Structure 1
Amino acid sequence: LLDNGTFDISATTAGASVTTLSGTGAVALGSKTLTLSSASGLFSGVISGSGGLTVAAGTETLSGVNTYTGATTIAAGGTLALSGQGSVAASASVDANGIFNIAAADAGVTITSLAGQGSVVLGSNTLTFAAANGTFSGTISGSGGLVLKSGSETLTGANTYTGGTSVLGGTLGIGNSSAVGTGSVSLANGGGLAFTAASVDLSNAISVAGTNTLNVSSGATATLSGTIGDGATSGGLVKTGAGTLTLTGANTYTGGTTISEGTLVGNTTSLHGSIADNAALVFNQTEDGTYADAISGTGSVTKTGAGTLTLTGANTYTGGTTISAGTLVGDTMSLKGDIADNAALVFNQTEDGTYAGALSGSGSVTKTGAGTLTFTGANTYTGGTTISAGTLVGNTDSLHGDITNDAALKFVQLADGTFAGAVTGSGSVTKSGVGTLTLTGANTYTGGTTISAGTLVGDTTSLQGNITNDASLVFNQTSNGIFAGIVTGSGSVTKDGAGILTMTGANSYTGGTIISAGTLVGDTTNLQGEISNNASLVFNQTSDGTFAGAVTGSGSMTKTGTGTLTLTGTLSNTGTTTVSEGTLQIGNGGTAGWAYGPIEIDSALVYDLSGFYDLPTSLSGSGSLTITGGGTATYGGSAAYNGQINVENANLVLQNGSSANSAFVVGSGGVLSGTATIGSLVIDNGGTASPGYSPGTLTVAGNVRFASGSVYLVDVYADGSHDLITAGGTANISGGTVQVVAEAGYAASKATYTILTADGGVSGRFDAITANYAYLTPTLSYDSNNIYLTLQRNEVNFADMTSTPNAHAVANAAQSLGDGNAIYDALVNLTPEQADPAFNSLSGEAYASANTVLLQQSSYLREAVGSRVRQSLDPSKAPFGPYAATLAPGYDATVWSQAFGAWGRNAGDGNAASVSSSIGGFFSGIDGLLADNTRVGLIAGYSRSNFKSDGRSSSGSVDNYDLGIYAGTRFDAFSLFGGASYTWHDISVDRSVSFPGFAGAASADYKAATTQLFAEASYRFDLGKTFAGQVVLEPFANLAFVKLDTQHMTETGSAAALTGAGQSQSTLYSTFGARVSSTYELASGAVLVPYAALGWQHAFGNHSTGANLAFASGGTPFTVEGVPIAKDTIIVSAGFDYRFNDAVSATLTYNGQFASGVVDNSIKASINVRF
């Protein structure tokens, strides 16, 4: 075309075809395509329109700034070259099956996209894809580069351009490992790479700015071995597609990584920033490395490669973890989900943490770090466990394989479980949780064991080191074994299994011991607390030791070792006890101890107990048995036992059994009693033989010997029965003492007893004979085969053994009864200590003390009369009797009544015993005016008295009937009254008479009477009205003469009954004192008068009361004295009167009498009505 000419094909039907195009004109394509069939021209004009340009063959060079927007097609064999300002429209795509050469262009070239399989020659220019949507399989060469701004462009050829590739948007498809030449790749503005070939290995350096996507299609793998770093800004990667992307470069990008699909493979060098893993992340760690950033998402993490990968980020991924090779190090913050461990897993737990995932696979698990790691998942890994530091916590579900423990291992066992792996190392093992943990491995750990809760089961192979047990420890010992560790704590120890467990440590556990099966061997150092033994217990005591715990159960117990084993706890085991060696001592002087069940004594058995206990009858063996400790043992005998029985400082009571094969030796402090057959008997110095059960016979098959200092204690009875020792052999008496105890009812006509007989003859003599009698003397006599005891009445009078006048008097009377009298015969057998109490019991002193009580109680009538007369003579005297107003006309007579109650006690005086007494009753009276200021009256009353003398087992009751007269007069301030009375007494006395050899009850009913005369003078001082009301002070003095007459009495009911003669006793009393009162007139018109009095009473003459008595069965009379009348007594009283009106008043009074050894308290209430 010529310059400025136009070649317009827009109106053609199917475009136009020309050979070539040259010149400077213009081409108007319209929407049509211009085809150059054999190009060879240079066209510098402008091609415009929406149509396209095709170079079918030859070379066409464009140097103009073209604006057409249709496709540019370069057919095979054709070349389209751009030079100068030559271009194709940016909106056009290029289909290059030939050659697209932009090397001569002045600047880079922009096209829409590139397709075909030809070649692109860049020269030093840049080819830009504006909105790509093509695939180019040809080659791109030159030193220029490519730029993708948007869309999708795929390069599958082996390109050689070196100018680099920029993906500023859209996606650049990589279909060949050389698709982007040798230059660097820059990704920005969301631009990404899509790897479409089955395998791509891209070594180009890559820079990323912002978030950029790397897509690997399904089934494809891509490897980026170049360095990936940040671009203009911080950049990150997003892995998409189902294929696998491997990063192997020493990458430096900082924008993090996202795995949306497929698999991303890398290591701590190639992977950077936080990883959002929602598919699969693989660390192919051939060398050791640490990944500190966080891994999140729903995807999985896999560790491959021989190196060690350490994860330190706060990871939250949930897709689980797989370890295929090498070592994965982390903690509960960085390791998430279930872990399939087929290599090595290390928890470096510097702080406490819990791992709840499941661990599986053939790999090992290692715990490092000072913190505590807790496994709670149902793990199945089989590669074993190593604890290098800190604490690993788990249970039999979460801990597996052998465990090398050089720190701390803790089983929190909430349910029962068994751990069969071997636990080795220098670390400790702790069991907690309420469940049972059973260890069955061949463990060798040396750090000791702690049981905090639940139960730990093992044996001497699986349980190692010292054990702190605060719950339950079970040795399931099926074969024999020794445990040398020390067991401490508050927990229990149980022995199970058929084997023998021997404990040798210095244990201090306090929870007790249980033996369920097999045999437990130890000593007092090893075995602690109470032992429940239902199998076999062996104390191998090589040195002396004490076991204070209780031993119970049905199992057997064996004592071995040459030392002494002392058991001081409660023993109730029913199995067989065998003493094979050394000494078994039951008790240590206390009451605890006792052995039940059969006992085989092949060495030495000692009972060192106080209190009462039984020896087993099923004794066997030939060893020695010693009874000591101060207690009393009973023994029924055993023909199977042929050892020696020693009794030292204890009592042994034989219970009718046969011990014919046993020799008995009674040492110092020992007593042998009861009835049985024994082999031989030796009573050494300080020992005592006391046959029978008082009485009884001790049969000795062999010889009997009494050593010097021994004692033969003999009980004798009135019916002729007595203690006896019979010997089939000889009786050798080398000294000693016979002590005789006569029981109740001794009769002089039966005074000789055979106390020892020996078929082989009697040799020697006792050194002495003593008795516990006050009035009998024993003697011994001998013949060739017998020893006899004779008792005779001595010259000691009954009274010689008394210490009080009453006892002395009774003793003389009792002695006069003579032999054959029941009282006399009983008294003859008394010991000196029994004499005084016996005679006092017989004395009848209650009759004398009753007189004292009646004399003292006579005062209640005098007090009632005085109280009434004082108030009747003067209204101001109302404080000392029922209040009465000034007599008004018509009030000439007054009826009054007083109820009273009293209780008191007279202490014993060293002769008579103390007496307590009480009385209750009433007085009633009537009086009237005889003349001005003079009144006379009558008084009557009834009361019942009770008295009791506990010291004499005596009591009595008295019904009292009173009648009397009284009169009183007043002269101004001076008052005078007097009276007389007579009281009838019906008396009943009951006595219990009891002393050794006698018991009975006696009683008597008899009568007595009391006559008394009394008078009182007083003077009144009106002190006037004070803050305490109208106050009156009245000093007084009175006299009373009292006479008591008792009638004859005779007791019935007992051989100790007494008779008493009638007698009279009298006493004169004087009393001096003063009374004070105050008067208050109340608003209601009533009058309240509180009052008090204080006086001193003196009794003249003889203060003793006596009773003249005799035994009803005969003998001389005797006199006994009761508790004495008080000589000087302080009398106090207080109370108040209340006048309702002029006719009615009431009073309440307390009266107390206090003297040496005498106390009496009374309460009185009166009511007065005037007519």
Structure 2
Amino acid sequence: MVPAQAADEGTFRLLSLNTWLDRFKPDASQISDFLINGAYDIMAFQELRTNSTYSAQIPGILANAGLGTYASAQTSDVGVTYRLPGTSGAITLPNGGPAVSYVTLDQQNGLPSTVVGSVHLNYYDEANYRIDEAKALNQWAASTDGPLVIVGDFNAGDVSERGLHNAQQQSYLFARTIIDGGSSQLWLDLADEYTPAGREAEFQAYVESMQATDPNGSAHYRNVIQAYFDAHQSDYPGLTSISQMSWRQWEEIVAKDMASNGLTFVDETYPVASNTPQTLNILKKQYMLLQNESEREPYAPHTILDGSTTWTSHGEDATNTWTSWDRVKIDHFLVSRPYGKWWELADDPNDPYLGVVDDVGYANDGTTPLSDHEPVAHTMRWIGPALEKYAVAGGAADQTRLVWGTEAPVFEEKGKVFYLMRNNMRTDLYLGQVSDDEGMPILTGLTAAEKKTLLDCKSTDARFQQAIAEYCIDDHSFIDETLVKDGGTVIVDEDAALGTSAAELRLDNGTLQIAGTAMTSLDRSVILEAGGGTIDVNDPSNKLTVAREISGAGSFTKAGAGTLNLTADNSYTGETIVAAGRLAVNGSIEDSVMTTVLNGGILGGNGTVGDLVVEAGGKVAPGNSIGHLNVAGDVTFEKGSTYEAEVDGSGNSDMISATGSIFINGGSLYFIAAGSGYDPATDYTILSAGTGITGRFDSVGSDFAFLSPDMLYTATGVTLRLERNDIDFGGVATTRNRIATAGGIESLGEGNALYSAVLRLDAATADEAFHQVSGEMYPSIAGALADDSRFVRDAVEQRLSGMEAVTGIAGQPGEDASGYQAWSQGFGSKGSTDGSGVDQLDRSTGGLLMGIDRMVTEDLRLGILGGYGRSSFSQSGQPASADADSYILGFYGSTQLDALRLSFGGSYGWNSIEADRDISFGNFTDSLNADYDAATAQLFGEAAYRMQLGDALFEPFAGLAQVHVSTDGFTEDGGAAALSVDDATYNVTFANFGLRAATSFDVGGTVVRLKGQASWRHAFSDNAPDASMALAGGSVFDIQGASASRDTAVVKAGIDFDVAKNSSVSVNYVGEFAAGGADHGVNAGFKLTF
């Protein structure tokens, strides 16, 4: 790669190398093979000796190899060597600390002017100095106008400050604190934190024993080391005393002694408190860490050659004797925000000179490592828009323009489409690294796994929204202008992506596309160059307003299925094209030479346009509901076009007023009702032309179901009048009840408020109006009352059932045949009933039944009962509801013929009902209520055969019930939609077939009985409940309700137990399941014998 080609694709090859003070090869010619084969555009060096000629030699070496002209700069122990056009510089970090040597690359070939700096942060174990240096680097990034790339030796890891220590390294560190008494507070803190929980006393006792002195004044640990050395001196060739040994060798011996005493450690898989990665945590506030996935540091100690460690290099791994360090990746590539999201690493995986260079990082001799650091190199690639500098009003070229066009290196590769967003979607920050200004984690309540989880910049989790705002959402205030050109499209989902409101949008054969519905305003000036521009409101649900001026000589196109609302007095002079969706002009575009509405486009609003042409498939719908569109010129409706006009009952209508002529070459005129429909006494003017109208619409239609438009064409205007057509109200109704109601409403005739309200509706709304008015809730309540008659039957059957006989008590089941028995049962249920063409009726019922009975002869028991119930009903999908209070009296009896039991009974219920309905459609509303009475009468009987099988009792049974429901007539209180409902009756016969089962057992002297039942209930009535109704002044119509379910599966399960010698309690579940609905209930009972 020669210099002229280096940045052709917005890329450059960047190397970072810590030379370890040129320790191995002070002469750069000794590593020339590596540098030449790497062919790097920029090289960042760290730990160069002061006044070193190391980096100064490199330009000549590479020039001689034909790689172009390089420049080199060094400040303190850092330097940069580069062959791309640029200017070198340096800054000094705080506390008299290290410098940063950098080059500012010139803008070229789509690559923005970029600062690339070489960094070597403080190497002390404690992070204090590095924290100050990281804050200074953040400030540098914030003040730098353009991308800032910093690379080098940060002396700090990504997931931990000093590397995650394996168990062995922890033992070395612990041993060091024993040997030197803990000269480093950090070492002492780490030793404490690595001590296994619960074993602190053991470890402390060992420390004290090792540091204790013998009578000669020698610490015990020295004796341990001496003894090991004496026994293994052959392992230390050339050494004659322990004083000649290294710190690490002493640590290893003490660590072995610890292990022999059972004092071991566990690998660090998440940083302990003193190993928190404060340096990188701080830097990630202003920078993004770029790395290949293979280089990502794991939450586990590094292993040699794992591809994600840079220190120590595998060639120098044996020289790592630094107590507080294990292997770690401390050489990083960071890019400043907001530019980090527009850089990527484009490494060739087959290039050995890219990534963590751990297999070719050797001097020319092929054996000597370049350093104790692995070199790190990447192909940096710019994947964002081009960044240009420009001047305003003769000032300095200090303004930043984003350009999405052929200047951008990836313009063609991305299909000319770029998603401009502030969310950087970074993947380098873990939840446990969200930190305060000192780099200390601040998210609380995280699990261990969550701490190791990357922050998801798209998450909706409330716990992470502040972190997302701080780390993921970039500041785009650096943008002064966005230019979209060359057929490109920029997609945004928020206005702030384009910068502050002072930043302009310039379109030159370019498109701005609005994604989603969150962005509802484009708050900036728009300039149309000669190539014109498009605003694409992509989502059909979105309504985008542009309140600032659109200017320029270019054309403007509205695209996308959504709505664009222009409210400014715009001055652009090119053509306006409505290609798709709706363009609402509520300001002015009259300077536009022509407005053309294409197939799929809609023009509306209350503003002013220039000459207007509506093509085939195009539509004009003035206003934002009813409104007035002004045309400063001529209007042409082409064949196949549509003019859609709204009218209301106050005499208002849509209108197009043209200062010139209106040419109607065909097309359709279509009317729709707005709000209150229409005023039959009003003529609506919908077109007005200053110099005349020619032609006629090919067709005229409307969404009125029962009205047809009559048109009057004059020399300068077109007027509409609506007249009643021959479609009956019932012609648009979709169910039997709605058809019947439609006939009742139509019989009211003109002059009636309800009739007039329906007359103005479209077909769908009229059908819904018939639905609401029908009053079908009333017959449905009669069906529900018939269904709920089962509560009396269930209570009697439960009272008389032979299920207690499993206890072995003789005579009538479970009772004293000579005495009275009183019982009570509370019940409650919730369910629904449906019908064909009828709304579902939801109901809930609760109440209490009580009875008393005795044996009147040897084989005949008779009793009476009474009770109260409260029911609530609501019509699904409609604001219609009712409450019923029910009072019940009844009788029952049974006789036993060996195992055959015959039972019978009857009841009568008085029901007082209060109902409410609300009607609302079009502009019509009515609130209705009614109070009326109903009666429920029934007779029922059952035959059951009891069979005892061991401890279980089975009872097959068959039952029959005849139910009669009658409702009194009534008239609703309310307005025009109030119904008068006649008396009605509903009869239904129920048959019930099934099996009961029970068993009992003793619990602490108490007899407990478990019971169950499964049965099928069939209703023999072929007719649904119905009622004859009428509106005031109208004819009678018949409405059906939801009937009692035809076939129902019944499941019961319960438990009862004795609470005293003569009393018991029970609790039961009852479930009913039918094709037209379901019901779930619970009842609880008490029985007393006296």
TM bin (shorter chain): 0.5 to 0.7
> Take 2:721 and 2:808, find their aligned partners in 1: how far apart are those partners?
77
> Take 1:840 and 1:1077, find their aligned partners in 2: how far apart are those partners?
48
Deviation of 1:1014 (Å): 1.6
Distance change (3 Å), C-alpha of 1:686 and 1:1145: same
Distance change (3 Å), C-alpha of 1:1095 and 1:522: closer
Deviation of 1:1010 (Å): 0.8
Aligned residue for 1:952, secondary structure, equals coil
> Take 1:400 and 1:981, find their aligned partners in 2: how far apart are those partners?
103
Q: Which residue of 2 aligns with 1:1094?
A: 1014
The one of 543, 547, 550 equivalent to 2:421 is: 550
Q: Which residue of 2 aligns with 1:471?
A: 334
Deviation of 1:522 (Å): 6.8
Distance change (3 Å), C-alpha of 1:515 and 1:978: farther
> Take 2:632 and 2:786, find their aligned partners in 1: how far apart are those partners?
71
The one of 1040, 1054, 1063 equivalent to 1:1135 is: 1054
Q: TM-score, normalised by structure 2?
A: 0.61
Q: Which residue of 2 aligns with 1:107?
A: none
Matches within 5 A, 1:755-770: 755-770=686-701
The one of 950, 953, 956 equivalent to 1:1035 is: 956
Name whichever of 392-401 and 722-731 sits farther off: 392-401
Distance change (3 Å), C-alpha of 1:422 and 1:508: closer
Whether 1:920 aligns to 2:800 is no
> Take 1:707 and 1:452, find their aligned partners in 2: how far apart are those partners?
71
Give the residue type in structure 2 aligned to 1:375: E
For structure 1, the residue ranges without an aligned partner over 5 or more in a row are 1-329, 336-344, 352-370, 440-447, 458-467, 477-485, 492-504, 530-538
The size of the alignment, in residue pairs, is 745
Deviation of 1:761 (Å): 0.8
Cα displacement string for residues 323-370 of structure 1 (whole angstroms, at most 9, x for unaligned residues): xxxxxxx986699xxxxxxxxx8578789xxxxxxxxxxxxxxxxxxx
Deviation of 1:398 (Å): 2.9
Cα displacement string for residues 50-82 of structure 1 (whole angstroms, at most 9, x for unaligned residues): xxxxxxxxxxxxxxxxxxxxxxxxxxxxxxxxx
Cα displacement string for residues 1145-1165 of structure 1 (whole angstroms, at most 9, x for unaligned residues): 122222232232232222221
Deviation of 1:632 (Å): 0.1
Distance change (3 Å), C-alpha of 1:934 and 1:655: same
Matches within 5 A, 1:637-786: 637-638=568-569, 640-656=571-587, 659=590, 663-747=594-678, 749-786=680-717
The one of 893, 911, 925 equivalent to 1:999 is: 925
1:882–1:1137 Cα contact (<8 Å) kept: no
The one of 66, 71, 77 equivalent to 1:398 is: 77
Q: Which residue of 2 aligns with 1:1107?
A: 1027
Give the residue type in structure 2 aligned to 1:893: Y
Deviation of 1:758 (Å): 0.8
> Take 1:527 and 1:1068, find their aligned partners in 2: how far apart are those partners?
85
> Take 2:841 and 2:785, find their aligned partners in 1: how far apart are those partners?
12
Cα displacement string for residues 501-526 of structure 1 (whole angstroms, at most 9, x for unaligned residues): xxxx9943579979897144674478
2:780–2:1041 Cα contact (<8 Å) kept: yes
Distance change (3 Å), C-alpha of 1:639 and 1:886: closer
Distance change (3 Å), C-alpha of 1:412 and 1:1010: same
2:89–2:103 Cα contact (<8 Å) kept: no
CA RMSD in angstroms, aligned pairs only: 4.6
Distance change (3 Å), C-alpha of 1:471 and 1:845: same
Q: Which residue of 1 aligns with 2:825?
A: 898
Cα displacement string for residues 198-246 of structure 1 (whole angstroms, at most 9, x for unaligned residues): xxxxxxxxxxxxxxxxxxxxxxxxxxxxxxxxxxxxxxxxxxxxxxxxx
Give the residue type in structure 2 aligned to 1:1092: G
Q: Which residue of 1 aligns with 2:398?
A: 518
Matches within 5 A, 1:328-347: 346=27
Q: Which residue of 1 aligns with 2:978?
A: 1057
1:469–1:488 Cα contact (<8 Å) kept: no
Aligned residue for 2:998, secondary structure, equals strand
| Relative contact order higher in (CA < 8 Å, ≥ 6 apart) | 2
Distance change (3 Å), C-alpha of 1:333 and 1:578: closer
Distance change (3 Å), C-alpha of 1:925 and 1:597: same
Give the residue type in structure 1 aligned to 2:624: Y
Cα displacement string for residues 1047-1085 of structure 1 (whole angstroms, at most 9, x for unaligned residues): 11221234211111112222222223332223334552x
Cα displacement string for residues 736-788 of structure 1 (whole angstroms, at most 9, x for unaligned residues): 11111123434563252111111111111111111112111112221111111
Q: Which residue of 2 aligns with 1:1018?
A: 944
2:493–2:514 Cα contact (<8 Å) kept: no
Distance change (3 Å), C-alpha of 1:1093 and 1:348: same
Distance change (3 Å), C-alpha of 1:1034 and 1:601: closer
Cα displacement string for residues 820-863 of structure 1 (whole angstroms, at most 9, x for unaligned residues): 21211121122223332221111110001101110000011111
Aligned residue for 1:784, secondary structure, equals coil
2:1048–2:1074 Cα contact (<8 Å) kept: yes
> Take 1:1094 and 1:437, find their aligned partners in 2: how far apart are those partners?
75
> Take 2:998 and 2:55, find their aligned partners in 1: how far apart are those partners?
106
2:693–2:715 Cα contact (<8 Å) kept: yes
Give the residue type in structure 2 aligned to 1:699: N
The one of 993, 999, 1022 equivalent to 1:1078 is: 999
1:904–1:916 Cα contact (<8 Å) kept: yes
The one of 894, 907, 925 equivalent to 1:981 is: 907
Deviation of 1:403 (Å): 9.7
> Take 2:486 and 2:384, find their aligned partners in 1: how far apart are those partners?
27
Identical aligned residues as a percent: 28
Distance change (3 Å), C-alpha of 1:1007 and 1:527: farther
> Take 2:808 and 2:672, find their aligned partners in 1: how far apart are those partners?
68
Aligned residue for 2:630, secondary structure, equals strand
Aligned residue for 1:808, secondary structure, equals helix
Aligned residue for 2:1045, secondary structure, equals coil
Aligned residue for 2:57, secondary structure, equals strand
> Take 2:682 and 2:801, find their aligned partners in 1: how far apart are those partners?
74
Instruction: Decide which structure has the larger Cα Rg and report it.
Output: 1
1:392–1:410 Cα contact (<8 Å) kept: no
Distance change (3 Å), C-alpha of 1:1003 and 1:881: farther
Q: Which residue of 2 aligns with 1:631?
A: 562
1:879–1:1089 Cα contact (<8 Å) kept: no
Deviation of 1:942 (Å): 0.9
Q: Which residue of 2 aligns with 1:876?
A: 805
Give the residue type in structure 1 aligned to 2:973: T
**Bigger helix fraction:** 2
> Take 1:736 and 1:571, find their aligned partners in 2: how far apart are those partners?
39
Deviation of 1:793 (Å): 0.4
1:879–1:1090 Cα contact (<8 Å) kept: no
> Take 1:400 and 1:893, find their aligned partners in 2: how far apart are those partners?
108
Give the residue type in structure 2 aligned to 1:471: L
The one of 43, 47, 53 equivalent to 1:375 is: 47
Cα displacement string for residues 562-597 of structure 1 (whole angstroms, at most 9, x for unaligned residues): 554544564433456777783121117766887432
Distance change (3 Å), C-alpha of 1:595 and 1:945: closer
> Take 1:431 and 1:702, find their aligned partners in 2: how far apart are those partners?
67
Name whichever of 576-585 and 780-789 sits farther off: 576-585
Q: Which residue of 2 aligns with 1:270?
A: none
Give the residue type in structure 1 aligned to 2:1068: T
2:400–2:479 Cα contact (<8 Å) kept: no
Whether 1:1145 aligns to 2:1064 is yes
Give the residue type in structure 2 aligned to 1:508: W
Distance change (3 Å), C-alpha of 1:595 and 1:1070: closer
Aligned residue for 1:907, secondary structure, equals strand
Give the residue type in structure 2 aligned to 1:385: A
Give the residue type in structure 2 aligned to 1:396: T
